[in-house]
Amino acid sequence: MCGIVGYAGAEPAQDVLVQGLLRLEYRGYDSAGLAVVSGDGSIARVRTAGRVERLVDATRRAPLPGRVGIGHTRWATHGAPTERNAHPHLDCRGRFAVVHNGIIDNHAELRARLKADGHAFTSDTDTEVVAHLLEEAYAGDLLEALRKVAEKLRGTYAIAAVSVHEPRRVAAVRHGNPLVVGLGQGENYLASDLPAVLDRTRDGLPLEDGDAVAITADRVRIVDREGRERRPAPFRVNWTPAQAERGGHPHFLHKEIHEQPEALRATLAGRVEAARGEVRLAEFEGVDLSAVNRLRLVACGTSYHAARVGELLFERLAGVEAHAELASEFRYRRPLLARGEPALCISQSGETLDTLEAAREAKRLGHPVWAVTNVLGSSLGREADRGLLTQAGPEISVASTKAFTTQILALSLIAVAVGRANGHLAAPAARAFLRDLEGLPEAAEEVIAASREAARQVAERLREVPDAFFLGRDLDLPVALEGALKLKEISYIHAEAYAGGEMKHGPLALLGPGVPVVAVLTQGQVADKMAANAVEAVTRGAWPVSVVREDLAGRLAPTFTIPAGHDLTRPALAVLPLQLLAYEAAVARGTDVDRPRNLAKSVTVE
Ligand code: F6R
């Protein structure tokens, strides 16, 4: 939430910053702003309410001269999304400019004290206190001043600052919110995540909580909370700039849905030895997987739905009792985990604060933390004891798609590894499952191609409906949950998912003529029951839509068909038509597909 970018180099800073903000816009899009240190030693600032495009227009009309600066795209927490609350914020005399991602919990008391000392505030944000605190703390070294200011802050933050006193430098500090250094040739960057500057570099330096950093065109200096110099090892992402572009697709979401076959392929690459019924997970080398007999899967949103698929995979493939939990609940309910029970945290970004804090809580309680993430160098990936990286490439659209399917794949691999280690999964059963798993990329291609037109047609009818219901049983239930989430978040159609058998315990009362009910039916053992539940809805006048495994089509007439295959591998396919349906419904209703209202990608506040 909120995107930060900083630049120190030889090019006009505003151009680099604006490009970075456009790439970071998925993190927030209520308002945006830039501050550039001009050659004459002053700070020039421009801020606009609304999308980054408005900032682009403003900088075209009145360019900001200077080669060092900071930029921000906002997802409002404190203070309405107006121009006066847009970042960067300045101190009383315009000598410091700051941008911030996160929430400063003690901002009210700091503001009261600063006001009493004569500081004049011009916004309603928590961030502005930092500018005034810098003004007080500055004694000739911006990095040191920011580090001192951070000692006074409670909450979570990534903050970047520039000052007229040090016109060649951008300083920053992080605690609980993401921030990386991008390493360039004769220029350096700061960014909430590396895709912001992927057109300029693939090399980064990770920052730890408590780190403060200063960049100039040719130097990066990092110090820890105590002021000791740190030299973290650089990392290089294998993402390409093209992956962070729309590449001819009308929306990032469209592109990302269609990238799934490739994302699945890349995530599988080198992992499966189907003939032997084994998987290769070097990441778990040295871990006694046979000792795992309970597992907690922890995540938010779409990743939580992947966790819901995961819990069933672990039970079936590994005979391990597994529970999926919402990270935001896990943290505060004093969870009782069995001795040595790992917390397997799943997060596309690896920066979702609830998931990160849940991982930290599990660690505090003495449990191993495993992670499935998609972003190299993410906080979760670094803090986890063990982790698997999905190879989905950058996911830019706010609504998650390719992360979900690749997470399911990663969980399948770990479940097989545990099942093989503890003997629950015999070699023939593992072979059958893995052969099917290897076929997923091709099957996904097929399903996407075959579902496009039907998705458009159904979406046309969805255009006017206020509500929709999704039903599924067993592994199809998390798919139904994910289908409903996709539809509501991008088309704004109110959508709910229920276990097929639950409808008669209450929700059936909501059905009437023409209400769409999307039934997911890919699980052999519950096919008859699920079909009966769909019929119960139709009997009450519901408009039936269905995703059906082709060999089960006799039970329920399919709107979308999924190829026959192993029950446990079907969720990654069954979700594809639902993603397309949500996409087409959003397009038909004219919503902002990639940037749904009120949302932001990578939720780094609680
Ligand atoms: C929904 C969506 C969100 C994320 C959730 C967790 O389409 O994108 O629900 O899944 O915010 O994000 P990560 O996986 O980055 O932890």
**pLDDT tens digits, one per residue of 491-500:** 999 999 999 9
Name beta bridge partners: 212.
173, 223
Better-predicted residue by pLDDT, 561 or 600:
561
pLDDT for the residue 419: 98
**Residue 601's pLDDT band (boundaries 50, 70, 90)?**
confident
Say how far residue 442 (Cα) sits from the centre of its chain.
26
Could you give the count of Cα atoms lying within 13 Å of 147 in the half-sphere of its Cβ? 20
Look at residue 548 and tell me whether its pLDDT is greater than 90. yes
Strands (E), 254-365: 272-273, 278-279, 294-299, 321-326, 343-347
Better-predicted residue by pLDDT, 79 or 306:
306
The percent of residues above 90 in pLDDT, for the chain, comes to: 87
Identify which of 226, 171, 156, 129 has the alpha carbon closest to the alpha carbon of residue 2: 156
Question: Where does ligand 1 bind, in terms of residues with CB under 6 Å?
Answer: 300-303, 347-349, 352, 355, 399-400, 403, 485, 489, 602-603
pLDDT for the residue 241: 79
The ligand 1 atom nearest the CA atom of 302: 10
CA distances from 185 to 6, 11, 196, 197, 217 (A): 15, 12, 17, 13, 8
From CA 376, how far away is CA 310, in angstroms rounded?
22
Taking each continuous run of H as one helix and of E as one strand, the counts in the chain are 17, 27
Q: Per the residue annotation, which of 2, 148, 255, 300 is the catalytic one?
A: 2
The percent of residues above 70 in pLDDT, for the chain, comes to: 100
Cβ–Cβ < 8 Å for 197, 132: no
2 part of the active site: yes
Better-predicted residue by pLDDT, 81 or 537:
537
Say which residues have a Cβ less than 8 Å from residue 539's Cβ, sequence separation at least 6: none
From CA 536, how far away is CA 30, in angstroms rounded?
44
Measure the CA dihedral 76/78/84/90, to 10°: -110
With tokens 């639902």, the residue in question is: 578
Say which residues have a Cβ less than 8 Å from residue 496's Cβ, sequence separation at least 6: 467, 468, 469, 470, 484, 507
pLDDT for the residue 79: 78
Cβ–Cβ < 8 Å for 421, 290: yes
Identify which of 549, 524, 536 has the alpha carbon closest to the alpha carbon of residue 500: 536
From CA 12, how far away is CA 128, in angstroms rounded?
26
Better-predicted residue by pLDDT, 176 or 269:
269
Which of 253, 300, 374 to probe ligand 1 with, by most ligand atoms within 8 A of CB? Answer: 300
pLDDT for the residue 23: 85
Length, in residues, of the chain: 606
Look at residue 359 and tell me whether its pLDDT is greater than 90. yes
Q: What is the Cα gyration radius of the chain?
A: 25
pLDDT for the residue 38: 87
pLDDT for the residue 76: 79
Look at residue 603 and tell me whether its pLDDT is greater than 80. no
pLDDT for the residue 176: 86
Show the tokens assigned to 473: 């049983």
Say which residues have a Cβ less than 8 Å from residue 29's Cβ, sequence separation at least 6: 50, 51, 52, 73, 74, 75, 595, 600
CA angle 400, 403, 408 (to 5 degrees): 125
**Residue 24's pLDDT band (boundaries 50, 70, 90)?**
confident
Look at residue 46 and tell me whether its pLDDT is greater than 90. yes
pLDDT for the residue 49: 93
The ligand 1 atom nearest the CA atom of 404: 10
| Sheet of strand 516-521, all strands in order from the earlier edge strand to the far edge | 494-499, 467-472, 516-521, 543-549, 560-562
Look at residue 78 and tell me whether its pLDDT is greater than 80. no
Mean residue pLDDT of the chain comes to 95
How confident is the model over 72-76, as a mean pLDDT?
87
486 part of the active site: no
SS3 content of the chain, % helix, strand, coil (to 5): 40, 20, 35
